[in-house]
A and B are shown apart, each in its own frame.
Chain A
């Protein structure tokens, strides 16, 4: 989730409340992000030099601390999106997170989808070349993994169909642009 918070900060500096609402808008069918988690993550990002406080706003209400991505944070975000998620059942949520983050931040989403597809196909190929044990249980476990890889691959195909062409996608703003909206 650390990197996803970086993606949520990539568009513009935000305070915790904004980040929570942006996250819930990106993933409307997922469990809403808890405020406590957002603030804990932001504190960690700041400690690690991935985000910095740029402003404290009151806007007539409670005081809100506005965070922005640092250059190190942007490097970390790009590195995260350059790597496909693990091609296993547990990687499924991460694939969605990365694809949506790439779409929103404008960081090479086609490249990401293409690398993820290759990574999944390689895993499927590996499994096909190593037959499971002869027992029903071993076969069922194997088929479960293959079915999930296939479902992810179909979802990635859909992503490819729905993606904006490279010219239409907004590039990620520079750190200076982002910190002076």
Chain B
């Protein structure tokens, strides 16, 4: 079973066609880079794969579930259990301390708070974010917020990690370390990673590159 499978997916924002008839299958353990210039549809593809956006046409099957037949609550549940998302600016919950932000996916799944926070603290340590656990997102730099978002994405041991420009706010060395962690910790457990980026060093971490231009796939090559 593929981790995620998009078949003939199209999506428009009003009159702007963001994606046209795009198909992408990601196998368990596979790392795929989605690249292309700004506005080519990379982020839309990621949000569709995560079930955050609903495909206007075509089909998205996420860890075996056809998202067309799933309501918002069901999609949120699949996302929480199986998907870790890292967005460009972290997108942390502003009122929650960083430790609770990272523990949140586990808390929502009903894990005991103590256990969830211990796991969160472990991941904050692994991503290298050394701040007091009570720090609020507004007190973090852009790079720190991105590290916290990565810890939050990995805390559930997801089958699929979707990362949109995961290293954009980080210096080169920290970016490489984070990328290593996202890829190795996910694939070691048989999970898959989709990296959306215009950074060649990020694309070069993937097993396969899918390049988009104006909403369509223009090139797809195996790198491994």
Is the Cβ of B205 less than 8 Å from the Cβ of A122? Answer: no
Is the Cβ of A118 less than 8 Å from the Cβ of B205? Answer: no
Is the Cβ of B204 less than 8 Å from the Cβ of A125? Answer: yes
Is the Cβ of A160 less than 8 Å from the Cβ of B205? Answer: no
Given A118-B209, A150-B201, A160-B213; A125-B37 close (CB under 8 Å): no
A111: nearest residue on chain B (CB-CB)? Answer: B219
A126: nearest residue on chain B (CB-CB)? Answer: B204
Q: Residues of A within 8 Å of B, CB-based: how many?
A: 17
* Residues from chain A with Cβ under 8 Å of B206 in the complex: 125
Majority-rule SS of B interface residues: mixed
Q: Residues of B within 8 Å of A, CB-based: how many?
A: 16
A153: nearest residue on chain B (CB-CB)? Answer: B200
Alpha-carbon distance between A126 and B71 when the two chains are bound, in angstroms:
43
Is the Cβ of B204 less than 8 Å from the Cβ of A121? Answer: yes
Q: A123 to nearest B CB, angstroms?
A: 8
Q: Determine if A117 is an interface residue (Cβ-Cβ < 8 Å).
A: yes
Is the Cβ of B37 less than 8 Å from the Cβ of A121? Answer: no
Within 8 A of A (CB), among B190-224: 200-201, 203-206, 209, 211, 213, 218-219, 221, 223-224
Majority-rule SS of A interface residues: helix
Is the Cβ of A125 less than 8 Å from the Cβ of B205? Answer: yes
Is the Cβ of B219 less than 8 Å from the Cβ of A121? Answer: no
Alpha-carbon distance between A68 and B9 when the two chains are bound, in angstroms:
49
Alpha-carbon distance between A146 and B221 when the two chains are bound, in angstroms:
20
Is the Cβ of A121 less than 8 Å from the Cβ of B224? Answer: no
Alpha-carbon distance between A128 and B37 when the two chains are bound, in angstroms:
23
Q: B202 to nearest A CB, angstroms?
A: 10
Is the Cβ of B200 less than 8 Å from the Cβ of A118? Answer: no
Alpha-carbon distance between A59 and B60 when the two chains are bound, in angstroms:
68
Alpha-carbon distance between A168 and B205 when the two chains are bound, in angstroms:
34
Is the Cβ of A122 less than 8 Å from the Cβ of B201? Answer: no
Is the Cβ of A117 less than 8 Å from the Cβ of B219? Answer: yes
Given A114-B221, A161-B37; A121-B203 close (CB under 8 Å): yes
Is the Cβ of A124 less than 8 Å from the Cβ of B200? Answer: yes
Alpha-carbon distance between A160 and B219 when the two chains are bound, in angstroms:
11
Alpha-carbon distance between A149 and B204 when the two chains are bound, in angstroms:
11
Is the Cβ of B213 less than 8 Å from the Cβ of A121? Answer: no
* Residues from chain B with Cβ under 8 Å of A149 in the complex: 200
A150: nearest residue on chain B (CB-CB)? Answer: B200
A115: nearest residue on chain B (CB-CB)? Answer: B221
Instruction: Point out the residue from A118, A150, A153 that lies within 8 Å of B221, measured CB to CB.
Output: A118
Q: Determine if A154 is an interface residue (Cβ-Cβ < 8 Å).
A: yes
Given A118-B209, A160-B213, A161-B37; A128-B219 close (CB under 8 Å): no
B221: nearest residue on chain A (CB-CB)? Answer: A118
18 residue pairs of the A-B complex, CB under 8 angstroms, read A114-B221, A118-B223, A120-B200, A121-B221, A122-B204, A122-B223, A124-B201, A124-B204, A125-B204, A125-B205, A125-B206, A128-B176, A128-B201, A128-B205, A146-B201, A149-B200, A150-B200, A160-B213
Q: Give B contacts to A, CB under 8 Å.
A: 37, 176, 200-201, 203-206, 209, 211, 213, 218-219, 221, 223-224
Q: Which 3 A-B pairs have the closest CB atoms?
A: A124-B204, A118-B221, A125-B204
